[in-house]
Amino acid sequence: IAEGLGRGSAWSKGGSGGISGSAQVPAAVVPRQGKGLFATRNIRKGETVFVERPVVSSQFLWNALYNYRACDHCLRALETAEENAQRLLGKSSLVLPHPEQCSIRKDLHQQCPRCQVMYCSAECRQAALEQYHQVLCLGPSRDDPTHPLNKLQEAWRNMHYPPETSSIMLMARMVATIKQAKDKEWWIKAFSQFCSKTANEEEEIVHKLLGDKFKGQLELLRLLFTEALYDEYLSRWFTPEGFRSLFALVGTNGQGIGTSSLSQWVHACDALDLPMLQREELDAFIDQLYKDIEKESGEFLNCEGSGLYVLQSCCNHSCIPNAETSFPENNFLLHLTALEDIEAGEEICISYLDCCQRERSRHSRNKILRENYLFTCSCPKCLAQADDADVTSDEEEEGEGETDDAELEDEMTDV
């Protein structure tokens, strides 16, 4: 990645500093008033701009509790597509056609010999062990409610109900990573690359995540976090101010991750070369399956979590994005794909809003962005609508109360 001066983005979410990385990525992070990602060569529509592994990631706690089985390291779904559909449908007799299109390899699955946490492969088990799991492994205390880590997780679940947007264990893995690391300063610098906020902005982020009683809840979490993970080298992270900053960093920069073995099976079936009648029958089966699952399980279809991605976190928002994120490999590897041709020197922007939210009025879009990301958008679409009245339509007024984390999370974890 080349670094250099570039034009500022009026619709930046903020942040500071630049980063360096792989020279094979056709984009550059430019140090300016905020962060931004710019193309270093022409990128064609549909091209993968980059594939990125998170610095750290974690499955959401309620998602894991409700038996959405995922690799504890890379979040790859562990159920077969048929098992996934049976659970979501509440129907153990369901049989999926074309079972050979399921990509799950159960013969490769491994578990931690001490705490029985599951992984999709020996590679993931080893990667977790080397980065953070030595510190976080509960061993025989996995089901002990008095263990400090279990107390921390239970407190978080009692404060942050579904739809989930973050996890206290993402912060725990940050601390554990540094505690285990030989080069602790390298990791501290890696985490410091994510954008920071002022004290008032941090309070707003914490308020959004924890609700009106956030000050008392934040202090309770800090005390439990300290009991479970305190480290003298990171002592500042355990102070009230440092913990709030750490909390806000995760709340601002956490990228939702969604994986699904059923979704992978559907994509594989879509690619099958079938006679017309068989194609129509298969498509009808899949359409009806999703309708039945929606009645039984609602919108909670995926294994869900969040992660910190250095490059992705540099992408600013636009209501007319030229790129989007996805997780087509059924794990935590993030793909950034161009939605249109992007010229060299042009900023690469994603949208923090889902498709429906992007079609709402400028006033409604900015209300969501201010509440969730603490900025007002000045992208070309918003500037073009600057003279529009700062009111919503009657239909949008009815929906204002429904604009919540559920909509944002649904977009964040779209597989």
**pLDDT per position as a tens digit, 388-400:** 876 654 455 555 4
Instruction: Give the mean pLDDT of the chain.
Output: 86
Q: Are 58 and 167 contacting, i.e. CB atoms less than 8 angstroms apart? A: yes
**pLDDT per position as a tens digit, 273-290:** 999 999 999 999 999 999
Q: Taking 60 as the threshold, does the pLDDT of residue 33 lie above it? A: no
Q: What is the pLDDT of residue 167?
A: 93
Q: Are 330 and 191 contacting, i.e. CB atoms less than 8 angstroms apart? A: no
Q: What is the pLDDT of residue 194?
A: 87
Mean pLDDT value of segment 255-275: 96
Q: What is the share, in percent, of the chain residues with pLDDT greater than 70?
A: 86
Q: Are 330 and 259 contacting, i.e. CB atoms less than 8 angstroms apart? A: yes
Kindly write down the DSSP assignment for every residue of 338-371, as one continuous string: ESS-B-TTPBPEE-SS-HHHHTS-HHHHHHHHHH
Mean pLDDT value of segment 174-202: 89
Nearest to 18 by CA among 28, 27, 26, 8: 28
Q: What band does 2 get if pLDDT is binned at 50, 70 and 90?
A: very low
Query: Distance from first CA to last CA of the chain, Å, rounded?
Result: 27
Q: Taking 70 as the threshold, does the pLDDT of residue 14 lie above it? A: no
Q: What band does 257 get if pLDDT is binned at 50, 70 and 90?
A: very high
Q: What is the pLDDT of residue 391?
A: 63
Q: What is the pLDDT of residue 15?
A: 34
Q: Taking 60 as the threshold, does the pLDDT of residue 36 lie above it? A: yes
CA–CA–CA angle 264, 84, 261 (5° rounding): 20
**pLDDT per position as a tens digit, 297-316:** 988 999 999 999 999 999 99
Q: What is the pLDDT of residue 373?
A: 79
Q: How far apart are CA 398 and CA 281, in angstroms?
A: 39
Q: Taking 90 as the threshold, does the pLDDT of residue 203 lie above it? A: no
Q: Exposed e or buried b for every residue in 327-340, given b needs 16+ CB within 10 A?
A: beebbbbbebbbee
Q: Taking 80 as the threshold, does the pLDDT of residue 187 lie above it? A: yes
**Beta strand pairing status for 255-259 and 303-308?**
antiparallel
Measured in degrees and rounded to the nearest 5, phi and psi for residue 37 equal -115, 130
Mean pLDDT value of segment 104-115: 97
Q: What band does 230 get if pLDDT is binned at 50, 70 and 90?
A: very high
Q: Which of 78-87, 105-114, 206-215, 385-394 has the lowest mean pLDDT?
A: 385-394
Residue 118, Ramachandran bin (φ over 0: left; ψ between -120 and 50: alpha; else beta)? beta
